[in-house]
Structure 1
Amino acid sequence: MKLSGSLVAGAAIGVIFGAAVTGFVLSSQAPATSNDTGGRGPGGSRGGFMPAVTLVAAEAATVGKTLDIIGEGRAVKSVALTSEATGIVTQVNIAPGKHVSKGDILLKLDDAQQRIAIERARAQYPIAKANAERYASLKETEAASALEAETAFNNYKAIEADLRAAEFALSQRTIKAPFDGVIGLTTIEAGDYVRAGDPVTTLDDTSSIIVEFAIPQEASNLVKVGQGVTARLAAAGASEHEGRVSAIDSRVDAQSRTLKIEATFENEDGSLIPGTIFSVSTTSQGQEAVSVPGLAIQWDRAGPFVWRRGLDGKAQKVNIAILQRTDEKVLVEGDLNVGDYVVSEGADRVRSEFPLPEVKSHKNKAVSAAGVSSSGVFAAQD
């Protein structure tokens, strides 16, 4: 088929024009060097800008074994109050759940008989004391025999004992709070007849709560006095409370082969109630390690690594070994020191020798880079 002359001429002009434009573009670009990244910015990013990154300082940490057990709470002081005497109740000052102070009167029994006994003894006491002193003086002048002086003295001491006994019997008719605390329930009302030994109510000092738990004998060396303990109710969403190990039993239970531990928790708001079952967790103090955010951990064929900001301000790849994970942190070991800055957010887009922002904040603060241009100039933000 024979082509027309105008069609051939148009095709030739198009080829010549395209070649000219291509040559112009190539001649305007800088020649490639040994450090040419093929049209990428520093670190090999496209478009001349690197993505934003965040630097976080590595922190000191220790790797310990965590024990999760069940514990039961009790008040730091707790007592079941009982009646020491028998009689009719005349006064009840027990309001369940009310906070009482040491010495507050909670219950009183009829004490008329005891008050009469005290009045009788107090009336006899000064007379007996005076007779004993007089007979002692007469004995010295031989105006009275030693037997008479001794009889007067013994009578004085007997009446003195009767007075103390009457006062003690009177004190038994009144039940007082032995310490500050929260009063419990009672079924006793004024007019009731109670006997010695009958339970009256309970009193708990809930300013602190002691949580008792037991650990296997194999883990006995993992818990020390003063070690931190967390406790929370078994219910979902329950708040977590921080406490310390306050006591460790001196021996392992022969039946269960467990060691009893006590941890003390402050309870100023009264949210912890004695008798409650808690989920308890404690972590032993272990070997020293370095803590970094979980987002800082990257992986390749060799294993986990992080990007560290070197002294020259550029990204350095540091191979690490993961020792332990927590909710937000990862404890690692390797060529990484406390205070070294590692890339947290954006670490998956960093490459070796990538320029990182200057560190101008404190070591516990993150530093983020808004962007890095192909000329190496970047904006840092504290």
Structure 2
Amino acid sequence: MAPRAWLTLALTLSLPLFSALALADERTAVIGARAEQQRWSDPLEALGTLRADESVTLSATVTEIVSALNFMDGEEVEAGQLLVQLDDSEEQAQLRAAQALRDERRNAVSRASQLESRNLGSRADVEDSQARLRQVEAEIEAIEARLSSHRIRAPFDGVVGFRNISSGALVTPGMELVTLDKLDVVKLDFSVPEVYLAILRPGLSLSAHSVAFPDERFEGEVASIGARVDPVTRSVQVRAAFDNPDLILRPGMLMEVVLQRSPRDAVVVAESVLVPSGERQYVMLIDEEDANRISRHEIVIGERRAGQVEVLEGLEPGDLVVGHGVQRVRDGDRVRLLGIADDEHSIREILEQHRGDDA
């Protein structure tokens, strides 16, 4: 066969291969996304104020001079730790005198008992001596009680506030000396409209956010629900509890609360994959077993949140849909899959890897 005939035959046989390659190159490039099964709930938002788990303002109950302060601003203290010592020299002297008198009257009781046992004294003398002993013991207890009011101790573990007094200062009953807050657990109080009262229950999970810590999400749960509905605002008070091991949350902080009501398992897709048509919603489903053929598939959606949507009908976990390039494909098209967007690979990262491609 002549060389020209061989060339003609080779070109003829190569045409189907070139056509297939050209068809592959002409496929629209898209990025896929899989439907996932996630824990889902309907968010209910509110604003709340933080409170310490336990909080107290320690004050004096006597008029006296401060003799010692045993704490610093913002210090963590333990239950029973001595914080403020007031001058108790007068009470200490009274205690020593009462203790000496108690020793004397104990001896008197002992002597009266010995005399009675020898029939040299009466039973009445023994009873009188015992009564006088009990009297002085009661006086000692009263003095010790007064002494305890001169020692101000922490009633629980916590963090003290600013120290606004100094040694030598004169304090009076009711004068505020220092605040103490238990912060390893904090409470969050917020209001919820009464229409949601039926779904509220202790143990319901929620999350909270503060502008002071924009990158932090604090997880907690409903601890208790108010016994009354406010007749003016038609809302009920709810109290949540949050663990605060690092003590970064402080009483008085404003928190944005998201209450997770009606928790359930749901099929979830990114909101960007939806193709709305009137009141109906569609996705562009990718058939991986049929060379990535596209089918326009109707779904039924539920609630939406932060770029995601709940799918009630039409998709199963693991189904692959078009996540980027939705408007460029049609029912029946075959597409070129650049990648699948997920928690480890974002659409931007996939596009940067294929920069220059028709994506």
TM-score interval, normalised by the smaller of the two chains: 0.7 to 0.9
Aligned residues: 332
Give 1:18's aligned residue. none
- Structure 2 residue 275 is matched with structure 1 residue 298: yes
Q: 1:152 to 1:338 in 2, by over 3 A?
A: farther
Larger CA Rg, structure 1 vs 2: 1
Contact 2:28 2:335 (C-alpha < 8 Å) held by counterparts: no
Give the unaligned 5+ runs of structure 2.
1-9, 351-359
Contact kept? 1:98, 1:182, Cα under 8 Å:
yes
CA contact (8 A) 2:27 2:334 kept: no
Classify the secondary structure of the residue corresponding to 2:239: strand
- 2:32 is aligned to 54
In the TM superposition, residue 134 of structure 1 has moved relative to its aligned partner by: 5.8
Counterpart for residue 266 of structure 1:
243
Q: Contact 1:41/1:49 (CA < 8 Å) preserved in 2? A: no
2:174 maps to 1:197: yes
Q: Which moved more, 1:151-160 or 1:222-231?
A: 222-231
Identity of aligned residues (%): 25
> 284, 301, 316: which is aligned to 2:261?
284
**Closer, same or farther in 2 for the Cα pair 1:330/1:145, shift >3 Å?**
same
Distance 1:27 1:40, change over 3 A: closer
**For the aligned residues, what is the CA RMSD?**
3.8
2:220–2:241 Cα contact (<8 Å) kept: yes
CA contact (8 A) 2:69 2:84 kept: yes
Question: Does the 8 A contact of 2:27 with 2:336 survive in 1?
Answer: no
Note the 1:313-332 alignment, pairs <5 A: 316-332=295-311
Q: Offset of 1:254 from its aligned partner?
A: 4.1
- Name the CA distance, whole Å, in 2 between partners of 1:136 and 1:57: 94
Alignment of 1:302-313 (within 5 A): 303-308=280-285, 312=289
Corresponding letter in the other structure for 1:62: W
Displacement of 1:214? 1.2
CA distance, structure 2, for counterparts of residue 356 and residue 162 of structure 1: 95
- The residue number in structure 1 matching 2:198 is 221
Q: Distance in 2 between matches of 1:29 and 1:238?
A: 58
For 2:62, the aligned partner's letter is A
Corresponding letter in the other structure for 1:79: V
In 1, the alpha carbon distance for the partners of 2:214 and 2:208 equals 13
Q: Give me the TM-score of the superposition, normalised by structure 1.
A: 0.72
Kindly report structure 1 stretches of 4+ aligned residues shifted beyond 6 Å: 24-28, 39-42, 363-368
Write out per-residue CA displacement over residues 217-246 of structure 1, whole angstroms, 9 at most, x where no aligned residue.
112123332223333346795754333222
CA contact (8 A) 2:269 2:309 kept: yes
Q: Is the 8 A contact 2:296 2:330 kept in 1?
A: no
Superposed counterparts of 1:340-379, under 5 Å = 340-348=319-327, 349=329, 351-352=331-332, 354=334
Instruction: Describe the shift of the 1:324–1:197 C-alpha distance in structure 2 as closer, same or farther (beyond 3 A).
Output: same
Corresponding residue for 1:375? Answer: none
In 2, Cα distance between the equivalents of 1:137 and 1:260? 71
AA in 2 matched with 1:121: A
Give the whole-Å Cα distance in 1 for the aligned partners of 2:346 and 2:74. 52
| Partners of 1:121 and 1:67 in 2: CA distance | 66
Task: Measure the CA separation in 2 of the matches of 1:367 and 1:177.
Answer: 53
Q: 1:170 aligned to 147, 154, 157, which one?
A: 147
- Worse-superposed segment, 215-224 or 343-352: 343-352
Task: Provide the C-alpha distance between the structure 1 equivalents of 2:113 and 2:198, rounded to a whole number of angstroms.
Answer: 70
Larger fraction in strand:
2
SS of 2:262's equivalent in the other structure is coil
For residue 208 of structure 1, report the CA deviation from its aligned partner: 2.6
Letter of the 1:51 partner, please give it.
A
Q: What is the aligned partner in structure 2 of residue 377 from structure 1? A: none
| Structure 1 spans left out of the alignment, 5+ residues | 1-23, 31-38, 371-382
Distance 1:236 1:122, change over 3 A: closer
Question: Letter of the aligned partner of 1:60 in structure 2?
Answer: Q
Residue 185 (structure 2) aligned to one of 208, 213, 218: 208
CA distance in 1, matches of 2:14, 2:149: 109
Aligned ranges 1:87-98 → 2 under 5 Å = 87-98=64-75
- Kindly tell me: are residues 27 and 271 of structure 1, through their superposed partners in 2, closer, same or farther at Cα, counting changes over 3 Å? closer
* Residue number in structure 2 paired with 1:246: 223
User: Aligned partners of 1:234 and 1:74: how far apart in 2?
Assistant: 17
User: Which whole-Å CA distance do the structure 1 matches of 2:131 and 2:25 have between them?
Assistant: 112
Q: Post-superposition shift, 1:365?
A: 7.1
Q: Which residue of 2 aligns with 1:336?
A: 315
Q: How far 1:160 moved relative to its partner?
A: 1.8
Separation of aligned partners in 2, 1:150 and 1:237: 75
Q: Per-residue deviation at 1:289?
A: 3.1
Amino acid of the structure 1 residue aligned with 2:136:
I
